[in-house]
């Protein structure tokens, strides 16, 4: 049987305690390693935030480009419509000017026709008066002829 002494037991317990302390010290990370790990974790987190911001920015930029393209197409369509509307307005103005010339021509023809009607009515009235006068002269001549015919027969 082994022989135990107080000094040996204390030496053994001291060696065990010292071994545990040394093991704990060796296994404990250094302050520099802890700081480096914390800095690395923080940098990794910041990098993830930056990467997510970049992804979001890229998505937003793409959506904005699509919206700009859509608005550009709308603007081009509106410009085309404005050009077509201006062409229609010019054509309508040309038609209006043509119609105004036609109305002026028709008014001129109407005034000429009205003057002709007035002239023809005057000529007709003069012809009617002349006819009435000639009919009166014819009646008078017939009366004279009839009176001579009776005077010669009596």
Q: 106-129 pLDDT, tens per residue?
A: 999 999 999 999 999 999 999 999
Confidence bin at 19 (pLDDT 50/70/90): low
If one counts every other C-beta atom within 10 angstroms of the C-beta of residue 1, the result is 3
Q: What is the pLDDT of residue 1?
A: 45
For residue 61, name the pLDDT band (cuts at 50, 70, 90). confident
Q: What angle do CA 104, 106, 109 make, to 5 degrees?
A: 110
Cα(29)–Cα(17) distance, integer angstroms = 20
The Cα 53–Cα 59 span in angstroms is 10
**pTM for this prediction:** 0.44
Distance CA 76, CA 69 (A): 10
pLDDT category of residue 63 using cuts at 50, 70 and 90: confident
Output 12 or 111, whichever has higher pLDDT. 111
Between 35 and 54, the higher pLDDT residue: 54
Report domain extents, the chain: 41-153
């Amino acid at each position: 049987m082994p022989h135990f002494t107080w000094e040996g037991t204390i030496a053994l317990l001291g060696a065990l305690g010292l071994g545990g302390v040394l093991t704990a010290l060796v296994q404990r990370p250094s302050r520099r390693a802890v700081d480096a790990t914390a800095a690395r974790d923080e940098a990794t987190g910041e990098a993830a935030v930056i990467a997510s911001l970049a992804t979001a920015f890229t998505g937003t930029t793409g959506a904005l480009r699509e919206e700009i393209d859509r608005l550009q197409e709308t603007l081009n369509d509106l410009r085309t419509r404005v050009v077509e509307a201006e062409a229609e307005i010019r054509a309508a103005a040309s038609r209006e000017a043509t119609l105004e010339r036609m109305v002026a021509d028709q008014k001129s023809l109407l005034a000429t026709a009205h003057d002709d009607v007035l002239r023809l009515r005057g000529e007709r009235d003069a012809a009617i008066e002349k006819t009435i006068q000639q009919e009166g002269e014819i009646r008078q001549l017939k009366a004279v002829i009839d009176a001579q015919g009776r005077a010669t027969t009596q």
